[in-house]
Amino acid sequence: MSTELLIASHLRLANERNAVYNAEQAVEMIVLALAQSEAVHYSRSQHHQLDTMVRGLPADNAFASDLLDLTWLEAYATAFRYPRTKGGISDPPPPGKLDEALSKTASLLTRVADHFGVVDLSTSAHSPAAHSRPPR
């Protein structure tokens, strides 16, 4: 592996892959929030396994089917976050597919926050959700 390829690969990941990684993380955090309301707990080994996590939610969870549409993002949680052993990087999802996932994730986050009582999503907020009722 060349040092130059590894340097370039890290910079490419910082430039292009950050969005898909952040989308995966956002979906994972949404699932974890919903899991709290459902009294569903995942082991640390299940984190990043979006498909497993979403399927662990009750079938009547109002957001489960929307989340299932985004489970393909799990491939970007860890395997595509770093250069491969020989220094190269895997291809990101097609731009249109990523844009759609980002849009769906943003919409889903807003809807889930609204469900729990219009949660203030600013990072400086310290107020709790208005309630913890599972979405049905």
Q: Does 77 map to a domain?
A: yes
d(CA 68, CA 73): 10
Query: What is the reported pLDDT for 64?
Result: 96
The residue segments making up the domain with residue 22 are 3-115
d(CA 134, CA 25): 21
Number of structural domains found in the chain: 1
Q: Which backbone phi and psi does 20 adopt, to 5 degrees?
A: -70, -35
Query: What is the reported pLDDT for 17?
Result: 65
Q: At what angle do helices 18-38 and 95-115 cross, to 10 degrees?
A: 30
Q: Does 130 map to a domain?
A: no
Q: Does 103 map to a domain?
A: yes
Tell me the whole-structure pTM to 2 decimals: 0.86
Q: Does 125 map to a domain?
A: no
Other CB atoms closer than 10 Å to residue 112's CB: what's the count?
22
Q: pLDDT tens digits, the chain, 136 residues: what are they?
A: 577 888 888 887 776 667 888 899 999 999 999 999 999 999 998 988 999 999 999 999 999 999 999 999 998 887 677 788 888 887 888 999 999 999 999 999 999 999 999 898 888 888 899 999 999 9
Q: Does 17 map to a domain?
A: yes
